[in-house]
Chains A and B, each alone.
Chain A
Amino acid sequence: MASSRNTKKEKLGDRLITMVIAALIVITVVVVAYPLWFVLIASFSDPSLVASGQVTLWPRGLTLAGYELVIADERIWQGYGNTILYAVGGTTLNLLVTLPAAFALSRRDFRPRRTLLFGLVFTMMFSGGLIPSYILFHNLGLLNTRWVFILPVAVNVFNLIIARAFFEVSIPEELYDAARVDGVSFFGFFTRIALPLSGALVAVIGLYYFVQHWNDYFTGLVFIRDQSMLPLQNVLQSIILANQSSNVREVATVGAGGTTMQDARELADQIKYGVIIVSSLPLLVLYPFVQKYFNKGVMLGAVKG
């Protein structure tokens, strides 16, 4: 039974801590939020003013030209469609392949798991590089097809390891033992008991995979020649980089008469910020849905100690 004097001290101490925590949170959010705000207002501002640092709190030289350009370009919409296809299709395959494997590897009684896990981790360290992969895809007929966005990245070892750790911690052996008594098979246990209890994990891993697909710029860059298959990131980056490169393509841009190198560069700056907004908007909308799965204390009651 704590004396009233102690409770008061603790209450005061606790309140102080709460204030400190609140202050830290506010500071963090503001520090992170400002540059984001900057991106937003820069996308509506005159690019020369932006580059010379005259855009601070509000848009200046208000212009929609950047957005007009981006939206009017039909490649953008094609890119959007492609990206959604690859992200949704890819993530589905990812989850179907990764989650069962992660679960099986999380069971401590599964003896080969150490070797298998090491085999997986090894691939994170060592890679043959771009060219053998290119040759492999060439032989498999994956080059210049949509499958190249989905199949080679079916398993991301990092995600798999996180999922495994999660399963190991949150789905104890006793649960399976209890279920076994009822005649549930291992696979049944996975689908009917473990997965529903791991809503948060599935949401997070699904989100990770989805974003990895969404941000993937490299695949389209190297393995695709048909421009109609390119995802959004490639379309956007090519618009920016085309107008920014000052060395190699100097001659081609020089031949481009009415528009000069300067105009091209200005164009790139203009759309640089708008591009971020256009390409990340869907993801921002997605997260609240994912967060819904972070329920508290769902696991409880399944196992009594």
Chain B
Amino acid sequence: MAVPLGGARNFAPPEGENVDVHEMEQELSVQAASRQSQQAGQPFSRESTDRPRPTKTLVRHLAGYWQHWLMVLPAMLFVLLFAYVPMYGLRLAVFEYDPAEGLLGGDFVGLKYIQMFVTSPLFGQVLTNTLRISLGTLVLGFLAPIILALLFNQIAGGNTKRIAQTITYMPHFISVVVIVAMINIFLNPNTGLLGAALGSNVMAEPELFAPVYWLSEVWQHAGWSAIIYLAALSNVDTNLYEAAKLDGAGRIRLIRHIDIPAILPICGILLILNLGQVLSVSFEKALLMQNALNLSASEVISTYVYRVGILGNQFSYATAIGLFNSVINLTLLVIANTIAKRVSNTSLY
């Protein structure tokens, strides 16, 4: 689709391609130069115009995009100040924390603490538990809001839809302390609604810890997470539905061919983001749900760090474990993003 533009650009980029304006401009200036040299009757050689002129390109870029930069600047500054500046604390992962010298001092100890963590007798258990809990939460927590949003989108009536949505997102606001208290009450083998029905003490079984965690997470957050999908679905043109229905499409086909594509980009983004949180299981919930019987399944990295780091005041150890976490999370995120870029149009960056 060619749309006439003024100024530097003489053609519109094909839809969906990541077009580099600089390359376009460079190509244009090459063409202009070749025209010039043709007019002057001189042989044109590409090499003479291929030499990069960084300053000129930069100025050109800023000239064309200064508004973009200005819009991006406040956010970048905040992030720089409040997220990047404190990152020097990460040095404690390889430096020994000494109270007398504060965060900027200490002896270099290299991988001592990472090694301590990896060789600790609890490492295997803690890592496995964390992965099991978070992968399950990831999968279920990813699918449930989508299904919920697709279901709710089918509700025609405005009020019914609103009430149903409100009910499902309300649990999001309940604090984790109360959630765990309720879990304990409901699962109590004698007096709990679910516990009595199931007949056994669910909280006493290590194998059941992860499922209880997953299901309570989904229960609490699915409704809230569905909001973003519902917003995306609300952007879908109603004419599309009409047109499809005229062609004889039933509900399932409508969902499959209109709804799902509408939310697919958001799904992709959220999936990648969630993969970047794989080793982060919220410690508060795990800590509250832990007891001596299910400990073999309920001790996760964050509760372990809490015990040694906060209770034990071992800042270096805690930072090292945190760094270990972050590196793995980042790796997964990068892999996921790269795959997403190959496979689809949407990616995180």
Contacts and interface: CB of A to CB of B under 8 A. Distances in A.
A129 B97 CA distance: 14
A2 B330 contact: no
B171 interface: yes
Interface residues of B, number: 104
Interface string A1-39: 010000100100110011001001100110111011011
Prevailing SS type, chain A contact patch:
helix
A39 B167 contact: no
B67 interface: yes
A161 B269 contact: yes
A152 interface: yes
Given A13-B250, A111-B20, A125-B333, A32 B87 contact: no
Contacts of B234: 200, 294-296
Interface string A164-184: 011011101110011011000
Interface stretch (B30-38, B109-117, B188-196): B188-196
Nearest to A185: B67
Interface in B209-250: 219, 223, 227-228, 230-232, 234-239, 248, 250
A contact residues, range: 35 or more
| Residue from B68, B90, B346 having most chain A Cβ neighbours under 10 A | B68
B315 A128 contact: no
Nearest to A154: B78
A264 interface: no
Given A111-B20, A117-B349, A50 B185 contact: yes
Interface string B1-34: 1011110000011011111111000000000000
B315 A297 contact: no
Interface of A: 2, 7, 10, 13-14, 17-18, 21, 24-25, 28-29, 31-33, 35-36, 38-39, 50-54, 56, 96-98, 100-101, 103-105, 107-111, 113-114, 116-129, 131-133, 135-136, 151-155, 157-158, 160-162, 165-166, 168-170, 172-174, 177-178, 180-181, 185-187, 190, 200-201, 203-204, 207, 211, 215, 237, 240-241, 272-273, 275-276, 279-280, 283-284, 287-288, 291, 294-300
Given A33-B167, A110-B65, A116-B76, 19 more contacts: A53-B190, A101-B75, A111-B20, A125-B276, A129-B86, A129-B90, A129-B318, A131-B103, A133-B86, A136-B82, A136-B85, A152-B82, A173-B15, A181-B6, A187-B70, A190-B71, A200-B232, A288-B166, A297-B235
